[in-house]
Structure 1
Amino acid sequence: MPENSSPINSVLEQLSLSGHKKVVFCNDPDTGLKAIIAIHDTTLGPAIGGTRMWNYNSEAEALEDVLRLSKGMTYKAAITGINLGGGKAVIIGDSRKQKSEALMRSFGRFIKNLNGEFITAEDVGTTVKDMEYIRMETQHVTGVPESLGGAGNPAPYTAKGVFLGIKACVKEVFGTDMLAGRSVVVQGIGNVGEHLVELLRQENVEVYVSDINQDRLQVVASKYKAKPIDADKIFTIGADIYAPCALGATVNDKTIKTMKFAIIAGSANNQLADEQKHGQLLLEKGILYAPDYLINAGGLINCYSELTGYGKKRTIQLTENIYEATKEVIKLSKSENIPTNLAASRIAEKRIEDIKKIKSSY
């Protein structure tokens, strides 16, 4: 950092470059809470985004993560066709050791102070129970149990959207969306990953699974008759499809060089380490990439249904639209010879700009 610059200038510069509307830094010494809430865009409606609890190496790393994730939520909501903006929150800390009712309720009070501008849900490191604690302080939270009037766990809908995105890609690459006989590597078998494995195995897909939790890996592999593999073997297996369902940036300079997949389609956010560079590299290599924020939108749709009072039938209908939306992105990518992530961004940005024009005429 230049000598005459300051941390606050650096933060404001980041917000300007990424187009963010607001960032809130939360600190509560009584509970140990250190969190950041990022609101990227509210053109389509209040910003929505999960709360991630992660043991970041630095506050700068946490800020970079929340800015990128919140921008992704804007595009996810826009391309899905729902009336919500994009936001995200991160709590800095070890969710296994530092999380408590008091900490989550303190965080809920910070959300309450935003007066409905930000709505949260669960994410990596947080649970439905944590959303219950937040609900004790504010109504601006989704993904709470059905017993409390919520829509419950969004993971099955997220997995369903990814599954449909995979089918749309298989249709493009292989001429049919029948999955029987295809092979998929699922990296990360948490809540969403396991549901995806189940859906794939129901279609007689050959599934390889990998996870940092070896005990869980063996349990899930045995339950669904999947094949466990080590993390260092993922990108050398000649499977048809790679489905990243853990943390992001697994599609990078190193992994792209060794990939033998025809398709990349998973639930993880920010799968491309560098969106511009790696989207283009995948296009040049002939690997079809299903933009993450498009096909992992099932969980967001579930939260939207909770907010609007839609039932499960409508939630399923909206999630099923991901199949056609993926085909539209592929069509634009082919017609303009551009990476699929750029095609998806253009579709999302057009919707936001169109709504801005309508609002400006009010």
Structure 2
Amino acid sequence: MPTTLGVFGRSRELSSRSHEQVVFCEDEKSGLKAIIAIHSTALGPALGGCRMYPYADEFEALEDVLRLSWGMTYKAAAAGVNLGGGKSVIIGDPASDKSEALFAAFARYVNTLGGRYVTAGDVGTNTDDLDIMGKYTQHVTGRSTAAGGSGDSARLTALGVFNAMRAGAESVWGTASLAGRTVGVEGVGKVGGELIALLLADGAEVCATDVTDAALHRISANHPSVHLLGSVVDAPVDIYAPCALGATLTPTSAEAIEARLICGAANNQLANPGVEQLLRRRDITWVPDFVANAGGLMQVDGELRGADRATVEGDVTRIFDRCRDIISAAHDAGIGIGAAASRFAELRLDGTI
């Protein structure tokens, strides 16, 4: 009997650490169909955003939430915060299916977990949605400042990616400055847009792509110097920054990429773990996404701890040091940077460090 068809088999494919709990949520009155996945609470309550997306079917949604929650465990562990890994997905079109009743129903399901899972924003949800959830559950972070939260996490997520990219650039070219480097940003939503502003301020040249015309028009209006391309994954750039959905690093794209450095905000960038070895053989440095994009997680962790904004921003800036240490450890051990980052996270999860 195949072991990859059910929830348990899928969970084991991701890691030797299986998921602790997967909850399927349905509310006929509001139309809610959602899945909450708790991968680990070894370091603390499982925190991870709520993604709203028009998945083709429940199996696609399940695959996404399992991978995303697994990634959150390693992101929290590698970031040094005392949180576990979780994620949730709502099956629906964020442009047409949102309602207070739907988010209220979702929040009530979050409440049934008794604080084991804390939700936040993600693709398809924003602070307005989180403010609605906050009326029905206390287990939510990233609400607007008016509602007592820390606001949208896009800026600090981008700041973390920017500093991770600087660490990667230092390992490749011997300097952390991005001045004169050409960066291809794939996905110019909230995080991608913030990252572009940071890159331009540091003197980088930027080209960008997105599947949404409105997003591209917004970037052109705000940053006229940005070159818009149909694709950046195989463009003649120094740095490829995937900031849209994951799995863009495939065996095929690994052979086509011209960039020397890959660092972006997208989750689960590798289509499979073997892709990193393909990149290494071509002398392409990949900064693991779960290390680079931890700024938003660190923001909501600060919100839970009651830390002030300046303290959290300082913590996010130090992603540069964390990435530098992980890259150095990878070189010393003769292993991939992703393997070195996972090793560091595993030591935290095991209580070794």
Q: Deviation string for 1:74-111 (max 9, x for gaps)?
A: 00000110100000000111111111111011000000
Cα distance in 2 between the residues matched to 1:209 and 1:6? 37
Aligned to 2:96: 97
1:111-126 alignment, distance < 5 Å: 111-126=110-125
Aligned to 1:135: 134
Q: Deviation string for 1:138-161 (max 9, x for gaps)?
A: 000000011121111111000000
1:28 aligns with 2:6: no
1:324 aligns with 2:302: no
Mean Cα deviation higher: 327-336 or 341-350:
327-336
Helix, strand or coil for the counterpart of 1:286? coil
Q: Deviation string for 1:131-180 (max 9, x for gaps)?
A: 01111110000000111211111110000000001100111111111111
1:218 aligns with 2:225: no
Moved over 6 A (4+): none
Match of 1:15 among 2, 11, 18: 11
- Code of the aligned partner of 2:228: P
Cα distance in 1 between the residues matched to 2:348 and 2:288? 17
Q: Deviation string for 1:56-89 (max 9, x for gaps)?
A: 1111111111011001000000011010000000
Aligned to 1:360: none
Report % sequence identity. 44
Aligned to 2:59: 60
Aligned 8 A contact 1:210 1:230 in 2? yes
Q: Deviation string for 1:196-222 (max 9, x for gaps)?
A: 000001112100010111232133034
1:295 aligns with 2:292: yes
Helix, strand or coil for the counterpart of 1:91? strand
1:277 aligns with 2:277: no
Q: Identify if the C-alpha distance between structure 1 residues 109 and 333 changes in structure 2 by more than 3 Å, giving closer, same or farther.
A: same
Mean Cα deviation higher: 19-28 or 208-217:
208-217
- Code of the aligned partner of 1:36: I
1:46 aligns with 2:45: yes
Aligned 8 A contact 2:4 2:10 in 1? no
Mean Cα deviation higher: 335-344 or 214-223:
214-223
Aligned to 1:254: 252
Aligned 8 A contact 1:52 1:122 in 2? yes
Question: In the comparison of the two structures, how many residue pairs are matched?
Answer: 349
- Code of the aligned partner of 2:321: E
> Alpha-carbon deviation of 1:279?
1.1
Q: Identify if the C-alpha distance between structure 1 residues 16 and 284 changes in structure 2 by more than 3 Å, giving closer, same or farther.
A: closer
Helix, strand or coil for the counterpart of 1:186? strand
Aligned to 1:151: 150
Cα distance in 2 between the residues matched to 1:12 and 1:258? 35
Aligned to 1:161: 160
Aligned to 1:230: 230
Q: Identify if the C-alpha distance between structure 1 residues 311 and 6 changes in structure 2 by more than 3 Å, giving closer, same or farther.
A: closer
> Alpha-carbon deviation of 1:6?
11
Aligned to 2:312: 315
Cα distance in 1 between the residues matched to 2:53 and 2:70? 19
Aligned 8 A contact 1:15 1:21 in 2? no
- Code of the aligned partner of 2:284: I
Unpaired runs of at least 5, structure 1: 358-362
Cα distance in 2 between the residues matched to 1:246 and 1:186? 9
- Code of the aligned partner of 1:122: G
- Code of the aligned partner of 1:198: A
Cα distance in 2 between the residues matched to 1:56 and 1:66? 11
Aligned to 1:183: 182
Cα distance in 2 between the residues matched to 1:16 and 1:248? 20
Mean Cα deviation higher: 252-261 or 159-168:
252-261
Aligned 8 A contact 1:40 1:74 in 2? yes
Cα distance in 1 between the residues matched to 2:292 and 2:119? 20
> Alpha-carbon deviation of 1:15?
3.3
Cα distance in 1 between the residues matched to 2:233 and 2:215? 21
Cα distance in 1 between the residues matched to 2:330 and 2:234? 27
Cα distance in 1 between the residues matched to 2:256 and 2:278? 12
> Alpha-carbon deviation of 1:13?
2.8
> Alpha-carbon deviation of 1:14?
2.6
Cα distance in 2 between the residues matched to 1:100 and 1:215? 23
TM-score after normalising by structure 1: 0.94
- Code of the aligned partner of 2:207: Y
- Code of the aligned partner of 2:112: N
- Code of the aligned partner of 2:222: K
Aligned to 1:351: 348
